[in-house]
Amino acid sequence: MLPFTALAHPNIAFIKYWGNRSDALRLPANGSISMNLEGLETRTTVHFDASLPADKVKINGKIAGGMALARVRMMLEEVRHLAGIYLFARVASENNFPTGAGIASSASAFAALALAASQAAGMRPFPCAEDEVDSHLTAVLPEGQPFDLGALSRLARHGSGSACRSIPGGFVEWAAGSDDADSYAVSIAPPEHWDLVDCIAMISADRKQTGSTEGHAIAATSTLQHARVDDAPRRLGICRQAILNRDFATFAEIMEEDSNLMHAVMMSSHPPLFYWQPATLAVMQAVRAARAKGLPVCYTIDAGPNIHVICTQAAAEETAKLVGSISGVRDVRLAKVGGPARLVENPSTNPH
C-alpha cells in the first residue's frame, strides 16, 4: 500500500471540553467551540507495509513507546478494522512547535494521524487542496457506512477528544451528541470570517503534572461539574452567536467565564488540580484591565499555566507587547485562525 501524509493544526477552545460521559469513547460531558491555530502544525506520514512485523512509530524523530505508542496503536487498530486490512504501519509524526509549549499537541497529532491513516488504508478519497475539502465527499467502508468528514472527526475524537475539532477548518463546534455516532465537530465559520489572533503567553515549558486524560476522569468529583455541564448549552449559544456576529465584547465575557468555570471545577476536584502560576493570574488581570480601557482582548487557559490571549488582528501588536512585558512570561507566540486538516500535496506519496 502507498504512504499518505497529512497536516493538522492544534486548536484553542473558547468553550471547553472537560469531563466525559464515556472515557473509553471520549464522549464529552458537554459540547465545545474552538478555532484552529494557523502556522502551528503536525505532519504525519502513515504507510501500511506488508514487510513490518509490528507497528513502528516515530514522534519528532524518536521511536515512541509507552502511552504515546499505545494511543497511536489504538487508532491504527480502529483504522485496520474499519478498512478491513491486516497490515502493520510505519508512522512518522513531526510538530513544528515544541511539545510542552502550552499548545495541545494531541489535538493536531490525532487529527493528522486519523486523516493520514484512513487514507493510507484505502478509505479514500479526501482531496489535497484545502479549499476542496467539503463534506460531500464520501468513501464507503466495508460495512457499508460512508466515511465522510464527520466520520473522520469521530475517528480523531477516539484518539484525543479535542482532535475532532482539528479536522474541520476555521471556527469549529463539537456537539456533545447523544452517542458515538453523532459526537463530532463541524465548521461554524471559515478562517477568513473573523481576523482573530491567539497570542500564546509561555509561562512554563515544564511537562504538566496531571494530563488532560487524567483530568477528564476526575472532573465529576467536583460538585461544580454538574452546574458547569448543565449550563453549557447557554454558553455555547452565546459564544456561537458572538462569533457569527463578530461581537468581541460578548465573545470575551463568555470565553473568560467558561475558562474560569473549568478551572473552578479543576481546583475543586479530588484531588484538586491547580494549573495556574502567579504569572498566569497576572496576565488574566492585565488582560481584563486592558479590555476595560478599550483594547479588544480576552483570555482562556487550558490544562497548564500558559495563557492564550485572544485579540483582533488590529490589536495583535499592542497585545503581544503588553503580554510580553509581564514578569514571568518567557515568550509570546502568535497564531491566526487556521484551516482544516488536509493531505499534503505530494504526488509521490499521495496518489489520487
Instruction: Name the residue nearer to ligand DP6 (CB basis): 201 or 290.
Output: 201
Here's the x/- map for ligand DP6, 159-198, by CB under 6 A: it reads as -xxx------------------------------------
Instruction: Name the residue nearer to ligand DP6 (CB basis): 307 or 344.
Output: 307
Stretch that binds ligand DP6, among 209-217, 246-254, 310-318, 343-351 (CB under 6 A): 209-217
Here's the x/- map for ligand DP6, 62-91, by CB under 6 A: it reads as ------------------------------
**What is the spatial distance between Cα 296 and Cα 58, in angstroms, rounded to a whole number?**
41
Q: How many CA atoms does the CB half-sphere of 304 hold within 13 Å?
A: 22
Closest CA to 218 of 29, 25, 16, 10: 29
Stretch that binds ligand DP6, among 86-94, 124-132, 157-165, 337-345 (CB under 6 A): 157-165
**What is the spatial distance between Cα 35 and Cα 198, in angstroms, rounded to a whole number?**
9
- Give Cα separations from 6 to 12, 73, 94 (angstroms): 20, 17, 11
| Position among 105, 106, 118, 183 found at the interface with ligand DP6 (CB under 6 A) | 106
Q: How far is the CB of 280 from ligand DP6 (least distance, A)?
A: 14
| Position among 16, 47, 208, 291 found at the interface with ligand DP6 (CB under 6 A) | 16
The residue type found at 91 is V
H/E stretch holding 218:
helix 212-218
| Position among 30, 119, 187, 212 found at the interface with ligand DP6 (CB under 6 A) | 212
| Position among 37, 64, 104, 337 found at the interface with ligand DP6 (CB under 6 A) | 104
Residue 9 lies near ligand DP6 (rule: CB under 6 A): no
**What is the spatial distance between Cα 289 and Cα 338, in angstroms, rounded to a whole number?**
28
Q: How far is the CB of 174 from ligand DP6 (least distance, A)?
A: 8
Stretch that binds ligand DP6, among 131-139, 141-149, 155-163, 325-333 (CB under 6 A): 155-163
Instruction: Name the residue nearer to ligand DP6 (CB basis): 160 or 319.
Output: 160
The residue type found at 144 is G
Name the DSSP letter for residue 206: S
**Which ranges of 92-137 does DSSP label H, i.e. alpha helix?**
105-120
Would you give the distance in Å from CA 154 to the centre of its chain? 13
| Position among 4, 6, 10, 26 found at the interface with ligand DP6 (CB under 6 A) | 26
- Report residue 126: phi and psi, to 5°: -120, 140
CB atoms within 10 A of CB 51: 7
**What is the spatial distance between Cα 109 and Cα 130, in angstroms, rounded to a whole number?**
18
Rule CB under 6 A: which residues touch ligand DP6? 13, 16-18, 26, 32, 104, 106, 160-162, 212-213, 216, 302-303
